[in-house]
Structure 1
């Protein structure tokens, strides 16, 4: 993504290239996670927001596009009895597994109302 900021009404598109460097056809599940860096409420360290499975031939590179909206960042606010999107920074991470301690692609995005 080339975006540095988004609002609750925006859609963020993340595009990554996936290459099969092996000699056999394979599949990969590209996963997009979000971490809220300064949330006022407890949030998961990595929250899955989008994923896509792709089949890749040997030596092939595929461009994978993942999207999520500002509304996908909302949480249920119990006292307001409403979904709330917090302002603040999020970190967008893309990789093949949530178990990756250091997901290969990371970018910080500012979320505003």
Structure 2
């Protein structure tokens, strides 16, 4: 079927088909947004786990980090931890409250930083 120049190519399409196509694309977009939110949540949770593992060697009670440091200071817009910011926050925390430091052979006291452990950049 030929379309006249006045109709244009979109006028020849069935409106019902366009509605179905639009719904399909909307559903895909909603699914993608939901999946992205789930992934962001997973990234945040895994970051918290890594933070807890790291803080076990640095603080007597790893939960003290979350008590005294605002997570917005050490996380990016997607919830990922910025390990250089974690190091800076840990420096400030231990400077103010040195009694929170883990006793014994503490990696922090030996100069090892979280960014060294958790960053893959070289």
Normalised to the residue count of structure 2, the TM-score between the two structures is 0.27
Higher relative contact order (CA 8 A, sep 6+): 1
Instruction: Please state which structure has a larger fraction of its residues in helix.
Output: 2
Q: Highest CA radius of gyration, 1 or 2?
A: 2
Normalised to the residue count of structure 1, the TM-score between the two structures is 0.28
